[in-house]
Amino acid sequence: MRWLSDRRSFSITILVGLVVVGALFMRGVILRPQYFEGSWVYGPTKARWTITEYADLECPFCKTYTPLLKTWVKEQKDVNLQWSHLPLEIHGPAARREARQVECAGKLGGADAFWQAVDQAFARTHSNGQGFEGQLELAGIDQQDLETCTKEDIMVAIHIDRQRQEATAAGINATPSMVVRDNETDRTIKLEGPTDGVTLLSAIDWLAQ
């Protein structure tokens, strides 16, 4: 009966091993599939000043404001724009789906594709949770790949939810909201609502003092 005892010992060893591996996986000791964990940046990546926009693709104020903010950032020499997803509950599934869609565009095509997707989503949406008809048209990205990623990529969903939770923890619950950061000192200032260039420059001056 020794073989039976050995078999039981082997089974117990396998079971214990699976439990340990599962625990390490949950704690992050064993790495999950890798995915870009930062925020997409528009403008010079090593700029001294970063404006993080917390935005919802179904937010009518973001729809109007974000293109103006991008234009202003492009005119500055040492400022970049960083995107942070904050799909609001009042905008329902459309906001969450669009967030996943543009994030998948970035995952499949990089920063340029991400920002093109943001521009197209804002241009087409009816806002306030109504969404838009049709598809995003992004050069070099297959529509089926984009759709599959949008519906099935769990890492994209986790990434967006993590950004939403971080915004909530920082007391940010309205869109658009901005955080201006001095990358040399890590000092920040929070600005709520659409903010014009003059106010942004004043915030930068205040942080520089």
pLDDT the model gives residue 37: 58
More confident: 37 or 96: 96
pLDDT tens string 143-158: 999 999 999 999 999 9
Mean pLDDT value across residues 191-206? 97
Contact assessment for residue 58 and residue 91, using Cβ atoms and an 8 Å cutoff: yes
pLDDT at 20 > cutoff 90 = no
- Please give the Cα distance from 169 to 71 (Å, whole number): 29
pLDDT at 3 > cutoff 50 = no
- Please give the Cα distance from 166 to 154 (Å, whole number): 18
Specify the CATH architecture of the domain 41-208: 3-Layer(aba) Sandwich (3.40)
* Residue 72 Cα distances to 21, 26, 44, 150, 200, angstroms: 49, 43, 13, 30, 10
- Please give the Cα distance from 61 to 181 (Å, whole number): 22
| Strand order, beta sheet including 188-192 | 41-42, 79-85, 49-55, 177-182, 188-192
- Please give the Cα distance from 99 to 105 (Å, whole number): 10
Contact assessment for residue 83 and residue 53, using Cβ atoms and an 8 Å cutoff: yes
Size (the chain), residues? 209
Count helices and strands in the chain by DSSP H and E runs: 6, 5
pLDDT the model gives residue 103: 98
Domains of the chain, residue spans: 1-31, 41-208
Mean pLDDT value across residues 7-32? 41
Mean pLDDT value across residues 69-76? 98
- Please give the Cα distance from 156 to 37 (Å, whole number): 9
Average pLDDT of the residues of the chain: 87
pLDDT tens string 159-197: 999 999 999 999 999 999 999 999 999 999 999 999 999
Q: Could you give the percent of the chain with pLDDT greater than 90?
A: 80
pLDDT the model gives residue 81: 98
Mean pLDDT value across residues 55-74? 98
Mean pLDDT value across residues 42-46? 96
DSSP for 149-172, please give it.
HHHH-HHHHHHHHHHHHHHHHTT-
pLDDT the model gives residue 18: 40
Mean pLDDT value across residues 28-39? 47
pLDDT the model gives residue 39: 85
Question: Which among 55, 152, 145, 205 is positioned nearest to 135, based on CA atoms?
Answer: 145
Burial class (CB in 10 A: 0-12, 13-18, 19+), 177: buried
Q: Could you give the percent of the chain with pLDDT greater than 70?
A: 82
More confident: 151 or 31: 151
> Which tokens belong to 172?
């940010």
How many Cα atoms occupy the beta-carbon half-sphere of 24 within 13 Å? 9
Mean pLDDT value across residues 125-130? 98
Distance of CA 55 to the CA centre of its chain: 10
Mean pLDDT value across residues 88-97? 98
Q: Which residue has the tokens 């759709």?
A: 147
